[in-house]
Each structure stands twice: as structure tokens, then as C-alpha cells.
Amino acid sequence: QAQILDLLRRLRAEHNMGLLLITHDLGVVAEMADHVVVMRAGQVLESAPVRQLFGQPEHPYTRALLAAAPRLDRQDQRQTELAGEPTHA
């Protein structure tokens, strides 16, 4: 994964191109994105610059996603359940 992300970073810089990533990996989002769109069941819930979204998420679902992500600075790593029914593609 690290090699692929390095390649994408290099291609983006060399060719001055945009990049659209679709991922559930919030670490990748924090590292690679300038702007983030949070979606659920095909609906846009929140759209913001990456620092704003991680620092001050507005939508409850975004806050729940961020709270559920594993973090090295948190000892309590119990799984967080998100409210609502699971979505199916």
C-alpha cells in the first residue's frame, strides 16, 4: 500500500493532476486528500477540506466514523457501533 501511495503522490506531482480516491481507510484519507466527501448509501453527508473534516466534523455520521477509527493515542480500542441499518451496494 505504501508503494502505491508513493507512486500516486509522485504521479500527481509530476503531471499536476487531480486524484479521486474511494476508500474506507481514514489514514489514507488524512495523508493523501486535500478535500474529503463523506458518503453513506450513495448520499453526500459532508464535504470539506481534509483538515476541517478531521478537526471539526459537522455531520454526526462523520463524527461517528472518526470516533470508530483505531488510533495509537487511545488505549480504549473497543469497536464503536454506528446507528442505523447497514447499507448494501
Structural domain for 21, as ranges: 2-68
What's residue 88's pLDDT? 63
Q: What is the pLDDT of residues 58-84, one digit of tens each?
A: 999 999 999 988 876 756 655 556 667
Q: What is the pLDDT of residues 1-57, one digit of tens each?
A: 899 999 999 999 999 999 999 999 999 999 999 999 999 999 999 999 999 999 999
- Residue 13 inside a domain? The answer is yes
Q: CA-CA distance, 34 to 85, in Å (whole number)?
A: 30
- Residue 39 inside a domain? The answer is yes
Q: Are strands 43-49 and 35-40 parallel, antiparallel or unpaired?
A: antiparallel
- Residue 74 inside a domain? The answer is no
- Residue 88 inside a domain? The answer is no
- Residue 14 inside a domain? The answer is yes
Number of domains in the chain: 1
